[in-house]
């Protein structure tokens, strides 16, 4: 799959003169199939480690093999699907508790500092883009919680990545992007509370960015990550 490289360049911030990523030309269907499989993975309808058979998906989604293979390739690039020689595709295994602790350690070392830097340098257009990406629009609105959850997982990944981009250290950003943190942690728990609380914390971050308050941004990011870790860690006790 050509399009599965980690997103080291900006896909969100303005001003690239219309060179929108030429991901899929026949767009519609390919994207729909991708979203359908993504949602099944995030909602644990395809549990971690489970085999994924192309033929089953062909039947379930009533499409040909081509968009399914393409979607699985994309998901492989995002760390949600693993392709094994002679076996085929399966959902990525659940992360271990040790790995989970390491991921949050890494994030806590890097993201508060980057949030502080972003607060000191953020431009008005970047602030607007970040506000749009914070997922706050996914709040309530009578929409089905379960339907919103996969959406929020993606939104959260974009929001945090965008802060790292504004923070301005490409290596930090790539390092965290390679962990596919968000998709892994969101599969730990399928819970509406995760979304609502995280949105409050995103709003606190946005307020700090809007005030260009470096200390408040650092503090808000640290608090958000610690609470996020505390919300999700009970998943390992079940
Ligand atoms: Zn978040």
Write the CATH number for 229: 1.20.120.530
| pLDDT in the model for residue 198 | 87
Give the mean model confidence (pLDDT) for residues 107-133: 96
In a domain, residue 36? The reply is yes
Compute the distance from residue 16 Cα to the ligand 1 centre, in Å.
26
Compute the distance from residue 200 Cα to the ligand 1 centre, in Å.
10
In a domain, residue 16? The reply is no
Prediction pTM value = 0.79
Compute the distance from residue 203 Cα to the ligand 1 centre, in Å.
10
Sheet with 51-52: list strands edge to edge.
51-52, 88-91, 81-84
Give the mean model confidence (pLDDT) for residues 72-81: 93
Give the mean model confidence (pLDDT) for residues 119-146: 83
Of 65, 91, 117, at which residue does a domain stop? 91
Of 62, 91, 120, at which residue does a domain stop? 91
Question: What rounded mean pLDDT belongs to the chain?
Answer: 84
Compute the distance from residue 143 Cα to the ligand 1 centre, in Å.
20
**Is a pLDDT exceeding 80 seen at residue 21?**
no
**Is a pLDDT exceeding 80 seen at residue 138?**
no
Give the mean model confidence (pLDDT) for residues 6-17: 41
The answer to which of 54-68, 144-158, 214-228 has the lowest mean pLDDT is 144-158
Cα separation, 130 vs 134, whole angstroms: 6
**Is a pLDDT exceeding 50 seen at residue 222?**
yes
Compute the distance from residue 180 Cα to the ligand 1 centre, in Å.
13
Of 44, 61, 91, at which residue does a domain stop? 91
In a domain, residue 13? The reply is no
Percent of the chain scoring above 90 in pLDDT: 56
- Within this chain, do residues 87 and 32 fall inside the same structural domain, yes or no? yes
Compute the distance from residue 225 Cα to the ligand 1 centre, in Å.
7
- Within this chain, do residues 77 and 181 fall inside the same structural domain, yes or no? no
Do the Cβ atoms of 7 and 177 come closer than 8 Å?
Answer: yes
Do the Cβ atoms of 195 and 153 come closer than 8 Å?
Answer: no
Total domain count for the chain?
Answer: 2
79-88, 150-159, 204-213, range with greatest mean pLDDT:
204-213
Give the mean model confidence (pLDDT) for residues 98-109: 94
- Within this chain, do residues 35 and 108 fall inside the same structural domain, yes or no? no
Which residues is 89 bridged to in the sheet?
A: 52, 83
- Within this chain, do residues 205 and 107 fall inside the same structural domain, yes or no? yes
Compute the distance from residue 229 Cα to the ligand 1 centre, in Å.
11
Give the mean model confidence (pLDDT) for residues 198-203: 92
């Amino acid at each position: 799959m050509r399009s599965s490289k980690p997103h080291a360049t900006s896909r969100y911030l303005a001003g690239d003169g219309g060179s929108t990523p030429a991901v899929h030309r026949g767009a519609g269907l390919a994207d729909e199939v991708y979203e359908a499989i993504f949602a099944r993975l995030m909602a644990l309808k395809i549990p971690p480690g489970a085999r994924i058979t192309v033929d089953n998906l062909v039947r379930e989604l009533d499409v040909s093999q081509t968009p399914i293979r393409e979607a699985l390739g994309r998901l492989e690039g995002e760390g949600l699907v693993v392709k094994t020689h002679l076996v085929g595709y399966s959902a990525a295994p659940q992360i271990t508790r040790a790995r989970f602790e390491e991921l949050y350690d890494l994030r806590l070392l890097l993201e508060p500092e980057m949030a502080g830097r972003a607060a000191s340098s953020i431009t008005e257009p970047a602030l607007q883009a970040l506000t749009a990406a914070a997922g706050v629009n996914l709040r309530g609105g009578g929409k089905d919680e379960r339907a919103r959850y996969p959406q929020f997982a993606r939104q959260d990944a974009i929001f945090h990545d965008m802060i790292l981009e504004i923070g301005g250290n490409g290596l930090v950003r790539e390092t965290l992007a390679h962990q596919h943190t968000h998709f892994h942690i969101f599969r730990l728990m399928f819970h509406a509370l995760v979304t609502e609380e995280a949105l409050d914390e995103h709003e606190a971050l946005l307020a700090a960015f809007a005030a260009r308050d470096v200390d408040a941004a650092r503090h808000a990011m640290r608090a958000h990550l610690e609470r996020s870790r505390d919300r999700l860690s009970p998943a390992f006790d079940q």
